[in-house]
Amino acid sequence: MGAISFYEKGTDKTTAYFRHLGIILAIRDLWTKVQFEFLKELMALKSAADPGAGEAVTRERIRALAEAFCNDLDKVATGELTDWRTEFLASLSELEAAAKKGSEDVTTQIQEALKAAEKAAADARAAAEKAAADARAAAKTAEEAGKPGALNLALSGDFDEQVLISVDGVEVARSSGRTIAIERVVPGLRKISAHAKKGTKDVETARMVDVKPGLQELELVLS
């Protein structure tokens, strides 16, 4: 119905057809009326006692009827023109309003699409920046994880001569001092062991240590 209404307003074919019929019927009614008036005058003239004497009067009346008919036609045409102009201007106003609304709707849709595109671009840029930051952090973590650890091992307790230091059962150092530096320890959970002698008695200790990249302090007590 909306499409039909728009078509009707845009083409005006249906309205024009009915207006055409209306004008034809109006002219027909005027012509029918004037014909009956002509007939009435002619019959009056024919039935007059002296037709010759009343002929001039009858002609004047017929002329007046013809003039009135023309005036009536002029009124119908003028009225139709006025109505047509009014409806035409109203139709133009409606079309202008529809075009303006359509333009505003299209503009709004374009603005919304641009905002959505800008938001999508901003989200994509933020996601890319976050991914880059995560990649840098992961690379840094991987780089640090690849660095070896180092231990400053502090020994306490009574022991004689040298102490044997092992990491995961593998000897890494021997020393008679109380502080031993152990380098290039693979990061992760490691078993740090110390073994020595106190006279004829073996003294030893061991600890599980979460070795980190870089330097750590560790204390072992031999007993």
pLDDT tens per residue across span 11-52 = 556 667 777 788 888 888 888 988 888 888 888 877 777 766
The pLDDT, as a whole number, for residue 7 is 52
Query: What is the pTM for the complete model shown?
Result: 0.38
Please, are residues 78 and 102 in contact by the beta-carbon 8 Å criterion?
Answer: no
Closest to 205 in 3D by CA, of 172, 158, 161, 150:
158
Question: How many angstroms separate the CA atoms of 121 and 128, rounded?
Answer: 10
**What DSSP letter does each residue of 64-124 carry, written as one string?**
HHHHHHHHHHHHHHHHHHHHHHHHHHHHHHHHHHHHHHHHHHHHHHHHHHHHHHHHHHHHH
Does pLDDT of 5 surpass 60?
A: no
Share of the chain above pLDDT 70, in %: 89
**119 vs 67, 96, 106, CA distance in Å?**
77, 34, 20
Token output for 93? 């106003």
Higher pLDDT, 121 or 90: 121
pLDDT, position 198: 85
Please say if the pLDDT value at position 145 is more than 70: no
Q: How far apart, in whole angstroms, are the C-alpha atoms of residue 207 and residue 35?
A: 132
SS3 165: strand
Name residue, tokens 């078509």.
7
**CA angle (56, 54, 33) in 5-degree steps:** 80
Kindly report the number of other CB atoms within 10 A of residue 173's CB atom: 17
**pLDDT confidence of residue 208:** 92
